[in-house]
Amino acid sequence: MDVGRHPKIRLLAYSEVEGVEGEMGNFRIRVRKKARYVDENKCTGCGSCAEKCPTVVCDAYNVGLAKRKAIYKYFAQGIPSVYTIDAAHCRNFETGKKCGLCSRICQAGAIDYQQEDRIVELDVGAIILATGYELFDARKVPEYGYGRLPNVVTSLEFERFLSASGPTGGHVYKPSDLAVSEVLATLEKQMRTSSREIERFEKTFEMSSERFIEKFNSGELTGGHYDEWAGQYRSFLPLKEKFKRTKERAESLKTAHRLAFIQCVGSRDSRFNGHCSAFCCMHSIKEAVIAREHDPESEVHIFGMDIRAVGKNFEEYRNRAEGEAGIKFIRSRVAEVTENDSHNPVIWYEDTKARQVRSMEVDMAILAVACEPGPSARRLSELLGVPLNEFGFYATLTVPPLDTFRPGVFACGCAHGPMDIPESVAQASSAAARAASALMGARSKEQGAGSGEQDAESRKQVAGSEDHGAKAKKREAGKGE
């Protein structure tokens, strides 16, 4: 938020770089600022538009575990704190449909359906690439069952489960159980619709449905509306029973008690990424500790070839997790994840210490997926003329380590390579300092060249004035003679 308020920082959110020209000290950047269809200067971020919006879509910020509206904020602390219309799902942008509800609701008059993308050109002296990373698609490892087994999730999805602002309010429910809640909501809607129809018949004929069905079955009431009423009531009864069973199951749901973290999914693997993703081990340990804080009775296991705790006090944190939090570390290679009749994952692994193949049933399996180059890395690499290394991250010099092979372009954080938050922050500060230093050096050279030319001109002027003075003295001496 400090960045958004800083008077000397211009933040271009929801934008994309389209062109870069020039050299260090004189780059010309063309940026496409995408249309939000909301005026950023007018929007107050009140959220009235999202409350009334009738269109519901998957929420990318919550990794598809929750829903959002077609007009939305990407996340609560987003800067600028304004709403954006998702034109791909908004009814107002669909052919043959009209809505405009958000425009009528917005008291600030911020909705602008006619807004278009615009091009912004920037003159800058240096460029810092901080394009982040992408998570490995766990579906590429089919033996772990991600996308096929409901209770196998990724580390990022589990992070959202643990978050108080996440889709479950910080409770770790099994996704298969969450599906029951969604079914219950659908059944509840169907129940309301069906109940209204039956109530309409009961009011019209002034008779309860139970009494009516007795007379209908005995043959006292037949034909026309009675047949329709009977059909409606007969379809309502199994729906009512299904709703009752689903509601009882939803009310009896419990949080996941046995958890298993599987490390190095897609990393340190010659099939996908040969590199270590650096932060996965500590991230899993942190999530495991928080899960134990949420449920002190839970059983948490971490399956991995080894634990790479490479930062300051990281090894001590790992030891505290094992000793104080009761996290169990199993040195192993997981071969496969299956499920039983209760949809509980079953971990099949080789215990590399005991040299035995074993299995373990858990409530939820969490895959620590690899860190890969961000989706924009290759596009920006071609746009800037900056090469990538063998792992797909931006290639940099050995010394200085954050300089790319194009002068004036620097890389930091996970654009440079896999790293955790503290190291990314340190590199960001280093890259900013390096950019400032390079620009100051370039300006000093320019000023030095300019001052050298001025000095040469001054020397010429001094020499000229000295010659002129000598000649004047000679003339004066000649006159005296």
DSSP strands (E only) in 266-376: 299-304, 328-339, 345-351, 356-361, 364-369, 371-373
Are 48 and 101 within 8 A, CB to CB?
A: no
The per-residue pLDDT for 461 is: 40
57 with 120, same domain: the answer is yes
Per the domain annotation, does 395 fall within a domain? no
**Looking at the 3D structure of the chain, how many domains does it have?**
3
Give the pTM: 0.82
In-domain check, residue 454: no
Looking at 232, 251, 270, the residue that finishes a domain is 251
181 assigned to some structural domain: yes
Task: Specify the CATH number for the domain of residue 285.
Answer: 3.50.50.60
Residues 233, 263 within the same domain: no
Residue 185: domain span: 175-251
Q: Please, which residues have CB within 8 angstroms of residue 58's CB and are 6 or more apart in sequence?
A: 64, 66, 67, 68
Write the CB contacts of 217 (distance below 8 Å, at least 6 apart in sequence): none
Cβ neighbors of 116 (< 8 A, separation 6 or more) are 35
Domain boundary among 251, 279, 303: 251
Q: How far apart are CA 481 and CA 479, in angstroms?
A: 5
Q: Is residue 149 part of a domain?
A: no
Predicted local distance difference test score (pLDDT) of residue 225: 84
Query: Tens digit of pLDDT per residue, the chain (481 long)?
Result: 778 888 889 999 999 999 999 999 999 999 999 999 999 999 999 999 999 999 999 999 999 988 999 999 988 888 889 999 999 999 999 877 789 999 999 999 999 999 999 999 999 999 999 999 999 999 999 999 999 999 999 999 999 999 998 988 898 999 988 888 888 888 999 999 999 999 999 898 888 999 888 888 888 888 778 888 888 888 999 999 999 988 888 887 788 999 999 999 999 999 999 999 999 999 999 999 999 999 999 999 999 999 999 888 999 999 999 999 999 999 999 999 999 998 999 999 999 999 999 999 999 999 999 999 988 899 999 999 999 999 999 999 999 999 999 999 999 999 999 999 999 999 999 999 999 998 987 666 655 554 444 444 434 443 443 444 444 444 444 444 4
pLDDT at 182: 81
Q: Quick check: is 477 in a domain?
A: no
Q: Do 243 and 323 lie in a common domain?
A: no
Quickly tell me which residue has 């059909």 as its tokens.
Answer: 231
User: Within this chain, do residues 234 and 324 fall inside the same structural domain, yes or no?
Assistant: no
**End-of-domain residue from the set 373, 395, 410:** 373
Same domain, 192 and 236: yes
In a domain, 400, yes or no: no
- The confidence score (pLDDT) of residue 255 equals 87
180 and 289 fall within a common domain: no
Query: Which residues are CB-neighbours of 321 under 8 A, at least 6 positions away?
Result: 285, 288, 289, 327
Give the amino acid at 471.
K
**Is residue 102 in some structural domain?**
yes
Q: Which of 274, 272, 262, 258 is nearest to 334 (CA)?
A: 262
Give the up-direction half-sphere exposure of residue 379: CA atoms within 13 A in the CB hemisphere: 8
Q: What is the DSSP string of 155-209?
A: HHHHHHHHSTTSTTTT--B-HHHHHHHHHHHHHHHHHHHHHHHHHHHHHHHT--H
Task: Identify the helix (H) or strand (E) that includes residue 15.
Answer: strand 15-23
Tokens read off for 479: 């006159």
Q: What is the DSSP letter of 94?
A: S
Do both 265 and 333 map to the same domain? yes
- Asked if residue 41 belongs to a domain, the reply is yes
* Closest to 423 in 3D by CA, of 402, 406, 437: 402
Confidence at residue 363, expressed as pLDDT on a 0 to 100 scale: 96
What integer pLDDT is reported at residue 460 of this predicted model? 46
Q: Are residues 292 and 217 in the same domain?
A: no
Q: Based on the fold, state whether residues 236 and 285 are members of the same structural domain.
A: no
Same domain for 97 and 39: yes
Same structural domain for residues 106 and 16?
yes
pLDDT score at 445: 61
Give the three-state DSSP class for 285. helix
